[in-house]
Structure formats: structure tokens, C-alpha cells
Structure 1
Amino acid sequence: MSLQEELKGPPPAKLVVDHVSKWFRQKRQTVHALDDVSLEVAEGEFIVIVGPSGCGKSTLLDIIAGLEKPDKGQVMADNQPVLNPGRHRLVMFQESGMKQRVALARALAPNPRVLLMDEPFAALDAMTREQLYGDIQRIWEKRRKTIIFVTHNVREAACLADRVMIMSPTPGRLREMFEVKLPRPRDFNSIEIAQHAAKLTAALKGHVEHDAVTNA
């Protein structure tokens, strides 16, 4: 099955993250990973969550997947609470080289309604990564799967997203939303993507610096 082949399957899902908070309890301290995070994702929307290391991006993705349980709040998929992992919500992690292209095809084979992607391209070389940017855009245009994609790369976020959600750390909070209204397919190296990435970088830096002063 080629990545360009149109896959038949169930419709995409609507997701609602409703006032989710999460703590991790360690031997000598409690880590406040997420604080009152709320997010609505429309059916077939491509959302990218961007933020620095330690801001809770992966924890939020695990909660949406049903791999972790929130300490407060809830996640709803098509008006049903997410309590456990489900076959229509698949998580995709990092792979090296062309293995990631195979992993993408395998993730789509069961026709999930939601694809959750945790920095899947971070370990790839630039050429392979840009090839996969094209692949995933073509797949999404054909099937409009609901995708939530986590990254720390602002240019990657601008290249892929309908909307970019910016998170700040300690504890992890959703701070700002940016719409990316560029036509697809998008060129990762285009001036337009660079301009959007610069705006995201400025916003992210501003939130991180503000929180550092506030928490000092």
C-alpha cells in the first residue's frame, strides 16, 4: 500500500480536552506537568502543539490517547469520555530513517479516526523529513484524519498545521493559538513558512520569558 493511496475508513473524530491537569508524584517531590489545559479539535483538523522541552506536550498527547489518566478534567472523543487506549486513536513515535515512512503507512492501515504524533520526525535527516512532510500533507488532504502533532520545531509546525497551539512549561499550559491559512501543499523552505515560524518563535519566547519572571 503506497502512502499516496486513498484509504477508506471511518470518519475523523472530534476531540475535546476539558480543563485537564496532571501531576506526577516522585519520591521527594510532585511535578505539576499540566495545568488546566482546554482544547477543542474539530473533525479532520490538523493541530500542532509546540513548546520547549518539559512543557507537557507528550503528557497531553498520552492523556488524549488514553495512555495516561488526568488528575483533573477529562478528554472526550465524539462526546464519549476517553478512559483507555482505543483502536481509533493511534500514537506514532520517533523512528530512524525510512523506518518512519513505513511506520506512517502502518499507523494508517487500520484507518484510525485520530492520529497522535509525538515528534515523529525529530530523528530524521533533513531530506527524509521534508519528504515525509509532503507525504503526510497528501494523506491528510485525501482522508482528513484528525491529527494532533507534537513538536518543538516551529517551522515544522507552520508547515503542517491548520492551527498551532503554543505551550509554556512549569507547569504546562496552553498559552496561545495561531491559525496557519497557507494553501497546501506547503514548502517547508518557503518564505511564507519562515515568516510564520518567526511569529511562533517570538510568541513562544515571550511566554517562556514571562513565566520565568513570574515563577522566579
Structure 2
Amino acid sequence: MSGFAGFALDRAFGHPRGLLGALGGALMACGNAAAERQVVRLARLTGAEQVLVIGPGPGIGLLAAGERADRVVAIEPSQRMRHAAERRCAALRNVTVLDGTAEATGQPDASFDVVLSVNNIQLWPDRTAALAELRRVLRPGGVLLLSTHERWLPGGRAGLHADVRTAGFVEVQTWAWQPPSRGTTQAQTRATRP
């Protein structure tokens, strides 16, 4: 997408900032909450896991993960959303919010048990590089859980499934999930690092 529409979408959702970023953050907090909580449920966290959250936005899913995991690191490219996520999770000492992207997390090799991402895959400039990075930071046996608006997902569910397999993940499962509220259908994928 180019021109003003692309600029506005990036300012509201890709790298939220300014007035459009404030509006985008409010919409994300409301519209993504069900998918965020669903992905955390699917992770089946027991309290012992090290979790990486890619693009937590205003922190709804980050808070849910932080309440269930041993340690959670969030990687967020938007300063506005980092601050919002930090405020939402301020009472949790096990949550850290850092600047970065899915393609460049800045995290050590094999340092996480679970990686979660909700409604930002369509914004990754290089999905191949991002999936390689997420595989790198997962421990062997670690779980990748992705969820995104199906209608805005380049390549659709089949493309996401194929990309995750090509990145070297195994036990790849991809399905459609409809939020209980009026949210859009989500393409969700669960995979394991061998």
C-alpha cells in the first residue's frame, strides 16, 4: 500500500505515533483483546516459561502472559506502544518491554520457550527474516504461536503455513479462529522448533 493510506496505517498500527498512534492503540486494545487472550491460552503457560511477545501494542496479551509465565520479554518498535505496554504491566516485575522488531529482537540464541505474536505479521517487512529470527531465539522444543487478521494476511493461511514450515519449524498447524465478539477472523498457527 502506498500514499496517504499506507502512511496513515503505519502511523496508526505499524509504528504508532502522534494522534493516529493514540487512536490505533485504543483500537488495538479493544479489537485485539480476544485474540491476545486466546493465544496466551493456547500457549498453556505453567509459570515456568520464558516468553517472547512480538509487537505487544498496548499490552493486553503481554499482561495475560506476564500473569502466567516466569519471565516475559516484549519487543515493540513503537515508542508510544512500549510506554502503553509498560504502564499496563507496571505491577509485574517479570515483564520487560524493549525496542526492536520481529526481524531483529536483540535476544540471545535459544533463550525462550514460547514466542507469541498477535495481529502484526502483516506489518513485518520481511516475513522470512522474522521467522528465521524467531526460530533462532526459541529453544529446541519451543513453541511459536501466531495470530493475525486473516483478511490482511499476505498469502493467506496457506502462505503463512508454508512460510513457517520453510523457516524450519515442525508440527505446524494452521487454522481459522473467529473471536467471540465482532472481531475479524484470525489466521492462527502453532509450530515447534525442532
Structure possessing the higher radius of gyration over alpha carbons: 1
| TM-score normalised by the chain length of structure 2 | 0.34
Higher strand content, 1 or 2: 1
TM-score between both structures, scaled by the size of structure 1: 0.31
